[in-house]
Chain A
Amino acid sequence: MNVPLAYDAKTKQLSLPKEAERVVPLVKLEVDQLNTLVQELIANGSDVPPPPTPENFNKDMSKMIKKLYEGGVQAFKQGKYEESAKQFNIGVAMIARRTKFESFQGTLQELGLFLMSRADAYLKTKNYLGAFNDADMLIGMMMVTPDNFLRRGVANYLLGNYEDARADYQRGLSFDPDNQRLTTELEIVLDKILEENGDYL
């Protein structure tokens, strides 16, 4: 299939026809990514962006993000889970707005923190799919802590995917065999699987 791409010399942006965006979402994504990179490259001012180091990491942004994070935790503590999830959401969006040439190490750390907290908030607000996505993202980013498996496992359990939940708990336990929380959750889900099978031991 051929799709005409338009280039605007003034803004230096590529664009897709409206109807094509719907048919080929992957191309749309790639065009958007390209546009973002070009935009940030221009905004950067110099020919080549500076090498990403912890020193030139945008500290102002870090402060704002930290504030959002603390706000989210505060709301969570007070039991305002909806509010807390919203705060974390804004934080994630803000992290996404960091320039792409910055040290990704730092961005990843911040993002990990937010995703973990947001997954917890989602679990509390019964947005299990959102919690699953966040936990899955964390594990996909190789943040393989027992807690992340607990998050994805609980999300899976609440979504009714008992077999997946069991696999998650078991993988979590392989990193920390003595984790009490995982062990109890695993037992719960194993019982649930037996019950669903109409079986008993």
Chain B
Amino acid sequence: MASEYTYDDEGETWPFFVLAVLSFILIPLTISWGLRIYRQDNPLSINKDIKGAILENETTLELENTIEINKFQKKQKSSAKYFNKTFFAIVIGWALCLYIAKYQTVETQLIGAFDPYTILDISAFSSEKEVKSRYRKLSLKFHPDKLPKDLTDAAKEEMEANFIQINLAYKALTDEVTRNNFLRYGHPDGPQEIKHGIAIPKIFVEGKYSSLMIVVYFLLIGGVLPFIVGSWWNNVKTHTKRGLHIDTAALFARKLADKSPTKVITPYELLDWVCQSQEIVSMTSHLPLNPQIVVKHLISRHLFRDFELTQDETKYEREKLAIVAQLPKLIDGLIEIASIFRFTDVVLAASDLRKCVVQGVPPIGKYQEILQLPYVDPKVVSQQEVKKLGKLFTLNKEEQKKALGISDDAKLETALSIAKSIPMIRVLDAAFVVPGENNEAEGGLPSGSVPPSAQAHISIKFLIKSPYHKSCPEIDDEDLKDEETIEYMRDPVTTTNESQPLLPYTYAPYFPSNFRNNWFGYLISQRDNKLVEGSSVATLENVSLANLALTKEQFIKGEGLTISTFKIALTTPTPGAEGNYTFRLVLKNNGYFGCDVDIPITMTVEQPKVPAGKILTKKVRKIMEIQGDADEEDDDTDYSGSDISDPEEDSLAGALAALRGGSVKSSAKGEEEEEEDDEGDNESIFTDINTDTEDES
């Protein structure tokens, strides 16, 4: 059978083909492997470079669980870190690459590549004159007649070939026809012959191995490809973008949809939900009896730092750590889903539960702040009065020992030094800001006010302080203003947030894996106590902890004090109508107790006093009038409908008189709000109008 194709029997091209395919696989694999090593690096050594970080972990503290945690981490790390399957695949792959590149590639002559400028060794921008003079010089050197006589034949031939090339190159740059050929076909001789080839030796296609090749192809297309695509798709289908199992996400969504608004959500209830998740269930299906009960027992042992083991429980110690390591991820998933439902109570309770899991502290009682310290005796702690770290530092040494239940001096010192390094936040100022609008001197709005329908953000100015620091230094108002540079005006949020160093790894000796400390910011509408849409994404990751190193006196005097700023971008524009809108801003730390922030914050929407805004103002006024009228009418009708008489009593009446009017009013309001819920409550005036007109008809 005559073939139309040329085969690669000399091995000219197939090594390149194989190299290309190999590098396609190897390079991403190597990068991901390298990144994993880089990321899993020892958090303590990273923390050392961060000012104010806590440099303790279970090993340095010599806690009861050290051995188990180290075992767990070793299993996670050494096997999965350096010498895993990926590592061997990478080594073999690169060795293969080297071998092929070194021994199997035949140097091919790139006849097709013809560049007259390289051949003549001149710049591509040379004039014709330069080309000519260069050509003359070279042709003198390589002309067959001018060659020295003592050259070997081979050298002579090479020189002659060179001479031909030089001639061609010269022609390509000067002669009209050759030049055209070069421009159109890339070669001065006109179109080159195009060859079709197959990058494998002939025997594989037409020889006795052809059947083998078919089998290989069949396996590749019929087996490997569907398997890879299938498993990828399966993963996409069974896991959400955040790595939560789809059944778990559905479970959380169902639980939240079924949530009774009159029921108080407790961390224990949320823990129940999390334990029912697919991740935990599939991890623990091998446990005896009722796995759910065993799981809860193990988690509770973790939360109460219970290390007195019975024979049976030792067996499950590793399982306990594996389960506990999973919990924060699941809780984060729950928080994310709950913030779509905008349930404030669930989000806040889940944040607390997350901290409990991380620190190994029970979610009940009021002593978490003290219990998160190492060496403390829970029984002693819960019997005394001190609940906060701040209070602890007002006591003398003996009282501290008594409060914590620590008798050893060195241990007390360690516990206190950790307590000292837990970063607390003292908010100096928090306001809604629209960059460039709050310049009162130039006719702008007073600080704290925003124009309607503008892109605003929340700016929080705060001090990082240790619980050891008391009171608050005097801060000049000027220090709380942002410098409005061009970058700031363009993107105030990222510019400000990323200007500070990254927070260190969280001190969490009872928790088996490592993660960075941060605060999550939630903005809650006071009107309906729901999360404002899009506010859950705010994460405070970059803060300087330099203030923690200050002494008490330095802190109060404000010497060397760092004022930090955190900005939260709002996804929706400010409301169109003027007025006050009240919110509650909560910052929840992901690892420590006692450093959360919960402050009320008011958005004052005001029209700037510039002529351009006048038309809009009128419109807004009109809308507000319609709104106002409708509200009044509502109240009247409901009022007359109630048939319960006024109470005459004094002490109760203060409350009751108000509650009568109030209850009538609010029940009407309640209805309105329920209707609006779906549309988001960022006070779009248009939804208000719609509901009102419906009421009137």
Contact = CB atoms under 8 A, between A and B. Distances in A.
A117 B656 contact: yes
A76 B652 CA distance: 8
B652 A145 contact: no
Interface in B637-678: 641-644, 647, 649-652, 655-656, 658-660, 662-667, 669-670, 673-674
Contact of B659 (A105, A113, A136, A200): A113
B390 A199 contact: yes
Nearest to B642: A109
B670 A76 contact: no
A116 B659 contact: yes
B471 interface: yes
Given A116-B655, A120-B652, A109 B388 contact: no
Contacts of B602: 174
B64 to A, nearest CB: 30
Interface in B381-420: 387-388, 390-394
Chief secondary structure at chain B's binding surface? mixed
Contacts of A77: 649-652
B666 A201 contact: no
B584 interface: yes
Contacts of B526: 170-171, 174-175
B663 A145 contact: yes
Contacts of B390: 196-199
A142 B669 contact: yes
Interface in A151-184: 151, 160-161, 163, 166-167, 170-171, 173-175, 177
B472 interface: yes
Contacts of B262: 136-137, 140-141
Contacts, number: 122
B261 interface: yes
B470 interface: yes
B663 A143 contact: yes
A167 B598 contact: yes
A200 to B, nearest CB: 6
A99 interface: no
B582 A174 contact: yes
B667 A201 contact: no
Contacts of A191: none
Contacts of B264: 136
B652 A117 contact: yes
A73 interface: yes
B391 A171 contact: no
A109 B391 CA distance: 45
A100 interface: no
A140 B600 CA distance: 20
B175 to A, nearest CB: 88
A35 to B, nearest CB: 19
Contacts of B387: 196
Contacts of A200: 470-471
A108 interface: yes
A160 B391 contact: no
A15 interface: no
Given A113-B659, A198-B470, A201-B471, A142 B666 contact: yes
Indicate the size class of the contact surface on chain A: 35 or more
A46 to B, nearest CB: 26
Nearest to B659: A116
A117 B261 CA distance: 21
A174 B600 contact: yes
Contact of A199 (B471, B582, B600, B655): B471
A113 B660 CA distance: 7
A199 B466 CA distance: 12
Name the residue in A151, A163, A170, A199 with the highest tally of chain B Cβ atoms < 10 Å from its Cβ: A199
Contacts of A12: none
Contact of A147 (B527, B580, B659): B659
B529 interface: yes
Contact of B644 (A54, A113, A160): A113
Interface of B: 261-262, 264, 366, 387-388, 390-394, 467, 470-472, 526-529, 580, 582, 584, 598, 600, 602, 641-644, 647, 649-652, 655-656, 658-660, 662-667, 669-670, 673-674
30 contacts: A62-B643, A66-B644, A69-B644, A77-B651, A105-B667, A108-B667, A109-B642, A109-B644, A110-B644, A113-B660, A113-B663, A116-B656, A117-B656, A136-B264, A140-B261, A141-B262, A142-B667, A142-B674, A143-B666, A148-B662, A163-B598, A167-B598, A171-B584, A174-B527, A174-B600, A175-B526, A196-B391, A197-B388, A198-B390, A201-B471
- CB-based closest 10 A-B pairs: A142-B670, A174-B582, A145-B662, A197-B390, A198-B391, A198-B394, A174-B526, A170-B600, A198-B390, A140-B262
Interface of A: 54, 62, 66, 69, 73, 76-77, 105, 108-110, 112-113, 116-117, 120, 136-137, 139-148, 150-151, 160-161, 163, 166-167, 170-171, 173-175, 177, 196-201
